[in-house]
Structure 1
């Protein structure tokens, strides 16, 4: 992977619907060359897929929480989280805490229901998200990218 591939990945993360013509202009290559590079990144699973970024607010899921679990039954908790519609992400982690679930729900009441239902799998500790800053993946950091310059 070279700097052009890294720039292609950065641009696709910003806008996965960008045309190959526009992407080619940004990275200063021909459209066929960019198409070939993107195909190779897809074939080697560097690009795992293309996704829509959906507004939780527009879906009425304004309450986001990170719930840390000291689990009694890791497999059952993982299964519960996998099938629960409010769970966006679930991580098994090492340490005192065994799982972290990211939940987006409609109300404090529905969050309480989730917590009550999950208690049979372990002890939850709930942290409501006040704000967030989601970063995109960069394969390398240059002085310019570290300082937010492109």
Structure 2
């Protein structure tokens, strides 16, 4: 992977719907060369897919929380989280905490309901998100500026 591939990834992360023509202009390649590079990134599994980012607040899910679980019932908790509509992501991790669930829900009351139901599978500790940002785009842009 070279600097151009990193630039392509950066642009696709910023806007996965960008046309190949526009992407080619941004990375200073021809459209066929850009299409070939994107295809290779996909085939090599570097680009695993494209997804829609939904604004949870516009769906009236104003509370985001990370619920950390100490549990020995990992499979049961995973099964519970996989079907719960408020769980957006779930991670099995090493250490004192076994699972982390990212929950987007309507209110503290619905968060409390989730926690009450999940207590059957382990001991939860809840962290409510006040604000957030992602630095993946920043990381890739720093990589491309140094090359």
TM over 0.5: yes
- TM-score, structure 2 normalization: 0.92
Deviation, 1:142, is 3.9
Paired residues in the alignment total: 145
- Per-residue CA deviation, residues 53-105 of structure 1 (Å, 9 max, x unaligned), is 11001000000001110013011001111111101111111111111111000
Q: What is the TM-score normalised by the length of structure 1?
A: 0.91
1:78 aligns with 78
Residue matched to 1:148: none
User: What pairs up with 1:15-54 in 2 under 5 angstroms?
Assistant: 15-54=15-54
Q: Name the structure with the higher helix share.
A: 2
**Corresponding position: 1:57 with 2:66:** no
Which runs of 5 or more residues in structure 2 are unaligned? Answer: none
What's the counterpart of residue 120 of structure 1? 120
SS at match of 1:69: strand
Between 1 and 2, higher relative CO (CA 8 Å, sep ≥ 6) is seen in 2
Question: Is this contact kept in 1: 2:92–2:99, CA < 8 A?
Answer: yes
Structure 1: runs of 5+ lacking an equivalent: 146-150
Could you tell me which residue of structure 2 aligns to residue 95 of structure 1?
95
**Secondary structure, counterpart of 1:58 in structure 2:** helix
The answer to whether 1:11 aligns with 2:11 is yes
Segments of 4+ in structure 1 off by > 3 A?
Answer: 137-145
Asked if structure 1 preserves the Cα contact closer than 8 Å seen for 2:87 and 2:101, the reply is yes
